[in-house]
Amino acid sequence: MSIPFGLSLSKPAEYSLQALRQAQCERKWKPAPPPFGLSLSKPDCQKNRPMNTIVLKLLAQRIGLALISLFAVSLVVFAITALLPGDAAQEQLGQDATPQALDALRAQMGLDVPGPVRYFHWLGNLLKGDLGLSATTQMPVGQLIASRLPNSLLLAAMTALFSVPIALTLGIASAVWRGSWFDRIASTAAVAVVSVPEFLVATLMVLIFAVQLRWLPALSYVNDIDSISQLLKAFAMPVLSLCCVIIAQMMRMTRAAVIDQLEAPYIEMVRLKGASPMRMVLAHALPNAVGPIANAVALSLSYLLGGVIIVETIFNYPGIAKLMVDGVSQRDMPLVQACAMIFCAGYLILVTLADVFGIVANPRLRHR
């Protein structure tokens, strides 16, 4: 029996229907009665275009929501800092300052202007890249942040360098050997570590490695590093404190993403064809799990921003988070607002990247 349109009877009916519609869209054949008793409707060739307008629309929506969220965050940050008790004038002049002196200094610092006016003035300068002057040191806020930001980026980079490979390896291994003793131990340890807050992990590390064993310094002095051994000692406890929670979170999400692919029907077909477990995972499951894994990595690293504030404070690490904490204690509102906006923008960027990875890696959206 001749098979119309070059199709094979060994192919599934769904594949044959898809091939017929694709051929009609490409105008390679004239409409004819379909084989196998299938009913063909008029195909929509627009839906077969890769990276179609649906994906672009979703990406535009995510980016638009991120910008709207950042605007809302700026409003919340300004409102919260305005509600803090005391102000920079009171902090500078002390408790014994006269009301006239306080009023004169507040007028000089622009604190006597109504809140909405100050907000839009601050937002306009922020959009132009002007972060203002520090209320306590009268130095440009951008200069203060520029001196601390490289240290925070270095801490985040070292944490990601250690945590991402370890978490991906543990997550993939737990998914491949799910149900085994390794999977049970790794999953239990991950849940236990996630349940412990960063400040407790950091405090326990100081008590054990700095106070009891005296192996590592309790404080991180990154400005006095002259050798690799001093670098490792200065970053050991801050990096380990951040890695604990991040590895546990990333491992669990990676495990779930790989298991979802291993339970897909196409993996069962690969298994029936006699592929080895290693080839089944590396050549078939992992390429399709890249999008969910990238989503998991971006979301896990977004938690790093919250942990950095605690870790830098406990270990007296000279980063931007420690600068923000010092600004809060000194009521330096321009400095606090700028640091808070940097943290919020970093978090929104990572979350938006996670959404973008999830959208682009979804084949049902790319070929819809």
User: Both 103 and 8 in a single domain?
Assistant: no
Q: How far is CA 143 from the centre of its chain?
A: 26
Percentage above 70 pLDDT, the chain = 80
Cα atoms found within 13 Å of the Cα of residue 328, Cβ hemisphere only: 14
C-alpha dist (Å) from residue 70 to 63, 76, 278, 346: 11, 10, 44, 10
Please write the tens of the pLDDT for every residue from 127-165: 888 888 887 788 888 899 998 888 888 888 888 899 999
Considering the domain architecture, whether residues 34 and 98 belong to the same structural domain is answered as no
Domain identity same for 235 and 302: yes
What is the average pLDDT score of the chain? 78
- DSSP secondary structure code for residue 86 in this structure: S
Domain closes at, from 45, 61, 78: 45
Assess whether 11 and 160 both reside in one domain: no
Among 17-31, 187-201, 215-229, 267-281, where is mean pLDDT lowest? 17-31
For residue 17, give its domain range: 4-45
Would you say the pTM of this structure is higher than 0.85?
Answer: no
What does the pLDDT look like over 306-338, one tens digit per residue? 778 888 888 888 888 888 888 888 878 888 889
Distance between CA atoms of residues 195 and 174, nearest Å: 20
Indicate whether 175 and 36 sit together in one domain.
Answer: no
Q: How far apart are CA 160 and CA 222, in angstroms?
A: 18
> Is there a single domain that holds both residue 233 and residue 133?
yes
Nearest to 251 by CA among 340, 315, 191: 191
- For residue 272, the domain's CATH number is 1.10.3720.10
What is the pLDDT at residue 13? 41
Q: 25 and 93: one domain?
A: no
Residue of 293, 323, 295 whose CA lies nearest to 308: 323
Residues 17 and 84 in one domain: no
- Residues 103 and 208 reside in one and the same domain: yes
Structural domains of the chain, count: 2
pLDDT value at residue 91: 65
**Cα–Cα dist 311/199, whole Å:** 7
29 and 69 together in one domain: no
> Contact, 163 vs 249, CB < 8 A?
no
* Count, residues in the chain: 368
Residues 193 and 336 in one domain: yes
On whether the CB atoms of residues 339 and 286 are closer than 8 A, the answer is no
Same domain for 29 and 174, yes or no, is no
